[in-house]
Structure 1
Amino acid sequence: MNEKKKTQVFHYVTVVTEELKNLYYKRLLPIEKHYSFHHFHSPSYEDADFDNKPMVLVMGQYSTGKTTFIRYLLEEEFPGSRVGPEPTTDCFTALMYGEEERVTPGNAITVDPKKPFRNLDPFGNSFLNRFQCVQMPNPVLESISIIDTPGILTAAKRKLSRGYDFQAVLRWFAERVDRIILLFDAHKLEFSDELTRAFGALYGYEDKLRVVLNKADRVDSQQLMRVYGALMWSLGKVFRTPEILRVYIGSFWSEPRQRCDHYKLIELEEEDLLTDIRNLPRNATVRKLNDLVKRARLAHAHIISHLKQEMPTIFCRESKKHNLIYELPVIFTKIQQQHRVPAGDFPDCTKMQEKLLGQDFSKFKTLKPSLMNSLNKLLTTDIASLVPLFQQQEQRKKSLPAVLDGEFLGTFRRDQFKGDPFKEMLKDDEISEADSDEWVVEKYKPKYDEIFYNLSPHDGKLSGTKVKEWMTTTHLPNSVLAHIWRLADVDRDGMLDNEEFALAVHLIEGKLDGHWLPRELPSHLVPPSKRLSTSSDAPA
């Protein structure tokens, strides 16, 4: 995408975000402050809550592949990541984009007004010492941010307290993220007490939840069916929602998968999950609008006002307070009938009762007509006026840069090629150096050529279909193979000649040996015949 179009796209995203921000500060925030909304529900929104990128929360029991899943998305290591059979991630890590790689401790990041973590302070030093923000120049993080979480412990492992309210922290993040990825291991499906409590933190946010049954290539089809059925049954007992949770079956890492009867299913599930994550930036502003409307519709002001009116002026205030808390379910019904408030707009009664115990009812405020009129205007008029802006954004958002390095599984279609990225890669002072460099693939080319000619090229080139059929025999994930295709098809014609094919095989062998793939093709890997064309196309 050229810079002009990119600027137009982000202009419309910014316009919608700014309108949402203005509506919140003008209409909703005064009401939340007047009725102490933050004491009962969640803190007030700040600029960073509107301006930051969509966030993905990755959680699950230890050794289910959380950190490996994140490395799979980023296609590189990140500071502090460790992988092992025992619990290795003992802190919350926010992975965000930055021009330079750096790690910021929790106490420092929570005072940064540009980051959406300022309201984590109440969880105290025990949590903040186990929270960090990692910034790195990764293309995926230009579109989304990722939150890595500590592994949820099984009953056998949970000997010591974490030192902070783990469930409350999970709920804080669940409210603010755009997607929650919950991973299970197909080898060891176990529901511990801590996991069940963690599910409680996700109550009300099931629409954001995506469940992944990971390492599915390590079990046979019969065992997979049994594990999948057991997982669905267990989730149905915990999440009592009319909709069935979406469970993805996969093996999310960048290493070769074991060949199994359900190999094709794993590939299709991978495509579905990556598409879901890729669409998050497109839907971010819609999610922000949805969250704002949910806050506005909550019947908090009616509840606070009713409790204030029921309180005596002088005598027996404490006993009356406890009676009102006990009768809160009845009060909810009264408010519902008097003000025609839908039952779904009331908060959780038990949690509201717990919050009310520590409050001074005499400081509560009664309904203020001007504020209630402002709230009605927000819900009936202001939100409706934003619809045209969302429609304009919908028409332009298709041009947004795709997440996860492009359309992974559409690699073999010619319409995916929008110009040659290597034209911009070689600077003037690098061209002569690149031309003089020895092509490192040359010494392996004879054995690669044997494979190339066995695939029966036409007019000296192999079609994408033939190359794809051969590539998939390596058992590398389609996402990895797609990236290798993009690197190898230097002239972007949707086919590979013998040099490009040799380059592709060389990259595959490097990946099989455990090396990370480059995001862009280094100049010394560009085939000799392609260096002349890139040199002549380079700007003078």
Structure 2
Amino acid sequence: MYFEKMLPLEQKYLYDELITPSLRRGDFDAKPMVLLLGQFSTGKTSFVRYLTKKNYPGIRIGPEPTTDKFIAIMYGEDERIIPGNALSLDLDKPFTFASNLGNGFLTKFEASFTPSEILKTLTFIDTPGILSGEKQRLREYDFPECAKWFANNSDMIILIFDGFKLDISDEVKEVIKALHGNSHKIKLVLNKADQLTSQQLLKVYGSLMWSLGKIIDTPENIRVYIGSFWEQPYKNSENEKFFISEERELIEDLHNLPKNSILRKISELVKRAKFLKSHIFTLEFLRNQIPTFGREKKQQQLCENIRDVFEEISKIRKFPITDFPSPSCYGKSLWEKDWNRMPPLNERVVQLLDEILTRDLPNFMSMVSPELMDVNLNEIDNPFDETDNLEWTIPQEFRDQMRRIWNDLSPNGEPLGGGQLKNKMMETGATRDQLKLIWKLVDLDKTGKLDEDLFILAMYLSKEAAMGNVPNDGPLPALLIPPSRRLQ
């Protein structure tokens, strides 16, 4: 569907030049990626070795900055290293984008292949330690920009901190800010915790969360895994059981990534299709604004005020403003292009865009992940099945967070109305129009009140809408419906 319908439209309407490069086969076939970020010597490389249970080609571990490259650790029967320039040309790998980050990055990027069991389903991205001051700026590439691309295309982002290095420098803040829009993927690892007493650990944890709370833009609590992720015995064994439990939960969360990855890819494809639609209508709007004389001046004015252009198109076409790309990046890219290359919009293109969003993408979801559409629906039809055992597509960690919030809002467990839940839902960042639609979708009883499970569903859809994944105005997919409601 993408290569037959969306890609030709992207190329015709300069989407790949103005917004983001075209997708390749490797982008669809890629295993879930786990991005590791942190200051130097916090244990990122040791963390990968601990999980893969072996050294991989090119590994270097030491107390000073050792990893000076972005390294994709991938599965391979034969151990080998492929340099960045070759990776950027391999259409079967999800790294063709790398050429856009410049030759300075390509010389500091490579893939390391090794036969490790966990790498059969995951790819780890080890990164250079974030440096302080001038050393960070002397790198031959834009570190935050590179981290941003990997973050956008990763399924999990792990920020690793050393209990003895809690200084969050300006450079660390800059990298974390580059993760904007991906806060739902972020997990924290407080490493080398075995070197701390319980009292010290409590203080370090509190200090870390207080510092990060001012930087990471999320209303939710971020999961923190506390332990010592390397092969050596614990130096302080008083928290050994706790560390082992944390490790198990981390491993379990990593093993769950593949089944959630397909949903993320579909979500990203839906977002891409919405961006494409708004982009095509934006080009048509701009073409109609250019006069016969004074073209360059008018073009500059439109680029400088592209945010206003988006808002006007949003009102005319009834598009959510979240369906438009970043105004600052878009305006700059637009100014550099020859506007004479902008093709006119025709009715067939409008029909094709509607087909993609209303028919092809839903069909694509059922085709690439039939178990989400068929297996559980069959189970739902059986009144003797245990509904609690049916998988709910909302992540367990998010559910747990929302249940804690619900317990504060409704200590007696009574359903709550819109007036009582309005502020909490607005904290997600979704617009009023989006929240209005979401309330309509989740108020299954049509009573104007939500119980605990419906509240969790409402918060999940609100959070997704704030990130650009606005639900359709129609029946909810089967696996979004709370299991307790599927037999009603």
TM-score, normalised to structure 2, is 0.72
Q: Pick closer, same or farther for the CA change 1:39–1:383 going to 2, 3 Å.
A: same
Distance 2:248 2:281 in 1: 46
Q: Which residue of 1 aligns with 2:152?
A: 175
1:307 aligns with 2:294: no
Superposed CA deviations along residues 88-136 of structure 1, whole A, max 9, x for unmatched, are 0001111111121111222222222222222211323222111111112
Q: Residue type matched to 1:275 in 2?
A: E
Distance 2:226 2:245 in 1: 9
Q: Residue type matched to 2:318 in 1?
A: R
1:336 aligns with 2:299: no
Distance 1:190 1:373 in 2: 54
How many angstroms does 1:366 deviate by? 3.8
- Corresponding residue to 1:62 among 40, 46, 70: 40
Q: Pick closer, same or farther for the CA change 1:322–1:233 going to 2, 3 Å.
A: farther
Distance 1:303 1:45 in 2: 22
Q: Which residue of 2 aligns with 1:322?
A: 300
Higher gyration radius (CA): 1
1:357 aligns with 2:338: no
Is contact 1:309-1:366 (8 Å) kept? no
How many angstroms does 1:260 deviate by? 4.8
Is contact 1:93-1:147 (8 Å) kept? yes
Is contact 1:311-1:361 (8 Å) kept? no
Is contact 2:70-2:108 (8 Å) kept? yes
Superposed CA deviations along residues 177-233 of structure 1, whole A, max 9, x for unmatched, are 222211111111122232222123211122222121211222222332232223223
Distance 1:243 1:348 in 2: 24
Q: Which residue of 1 aligns with 2:202?
A: 225
Structure 1 unaligned blocks of 5 or more: 1-22, 399-540
Q: Which residue of 1 aligns with 2:480?
A: none
Distance 1:195 1:395 in 2: 42
Q: Pick closer, same or farther for the CA change 1:352–1:245 going to 2, 3 Å.
A: farther
Superposed CA deviations along residues 444-483 of structure 1, whole A, max 9, x for unmatched, are xxxxxxxxxxxxxxxxxxxxxxxxxxxxxxxxxxxxxxxx
Is contact 2:36-2:44 (8 Å) kept? yes
Is contact 1:236-1:244 (8 Å) kept? no
Q: Residue type matched to 2:283 in 1?
A: I
Is contact 2:132-2:171 (8 Å) kept? yes
Superposed CA deviations along residues 426-450 of structure 1, whole A, max 9, x for unmatched, are xxxxxxxxxxxxxxxxxxxxxxxxx
How many angstroms does 1:152 deviate by? 0.8
Q: Which residue of 2 aligns with 1:525?
A: none
Distance 1:152 1:26 in 2: 41
Q: Residue type matched to 1:235 in 2?
A: L
Secondary structure of residue in 2 paired with 1:254: coil
Q: Residue type matched to 2:258 in 1?
A: P
Is contact 1:154-1:191 (8 Å) kept? no
Q: Which residue of 2 aligns with 1:154?
A: 132
Distance 2:370 2:339 in 1: 46
Distance 1:310 1:46 in 2: 34
How many angstroms does 1:256 deviate by? 1.2
Secondary structure of residue in 2 paired with 1:158: helix
- Corresponding residue to 1:293 among 267, 270, 289: 270
Superposed CA deviations along residues 125-157 of structure 1, whole A, max 9, x for unmatched, are 2221111111122222111111111111123x7
How many angstroms does 1:34 deviate by? 2.2
Superposed CA deviations along residues 357-388 of structure 1, whole A, max 9, x for unmatched, are 32233332343332232222122112222454
- Corresponding residue to 2:21 among 43, 48, 51: 43
How many angstroms does 1:24 deviate by? 0.9
Q: Pick closer, same or farther for the CA change 1:63–1:125 going to 2, 3 Å.
A: same
Q: Which residue of 1 aligns with 2:112?
A: 134
Runs of 4+ displaced beyond 6 Å = 395-398
Superposed CA deviations along residues 251-285 of structure 1, whole A, max 9, x for unmatched, are 21122123354433322222221111111122222
How many angstroms does 1:55 deviate by? 1.7
Q: Residue type matched to 1:341 in 2?
A: F
Distance 1:131 1:58 in 2: 14
Q: Which residue of 2 aligns with 1:205?
A: 182
State the identity as a percent: 42
Give the alignment's Cα RMSD to 1 decimal. 2.3
Higher mean Cα deviation, 382-391 or 226-235? 382-391
- Number of aligned positions between the proteins: 374
Q: Residue type matched to 1:305 in 2?
A: E
How many angstroms does 1:64 deviate by? 0.8
Is contact 1:68-1:253 (8 Å) kept? yes
How many angstroms does 1:70 deviate by? 0.1
Higher mean Cα deviation, 116-125 or 100-109? 116-125
Secondary structure of residue in 2 paired with 1:238: coil
Secondary structure of residue in 2 paired with 1:180: strand
Q: Which residue of 1 aligns with 2:248?
A: 271
Is contact 1:104-1:133 (8 Å) kept? yes
1:106 aligns with 2:84: yes
Q: Which residue of 1 aligns with 2:3?
A: 25
How many angstroms does 1:389 deviate by? 4.1
Distance 1:113 1:368 in 2: 32
- Corresponding residue to 1:115 among 80, 90, 93: 93
Q: Which residue of 2 aligns with 1:345?
A: 323
Is contact 1:154-1:190 (8 Å) kept? no
Q: Pick closer, same or farther for the CA change 1:355–1:226 going to 2, 3 Å.
A: farther
Distance 2:213 2:284 in 1: 38
Higher relative contact order, chain-length normalized (CA < 8 Å, sep 6+):
1
Is contact 2:307-2:327 (8 Å) kept? yes
Q: Which residue of 2 aligns with 1:185?
A: 162
Secondary structure of residue in 2 paired with 1:282: helix
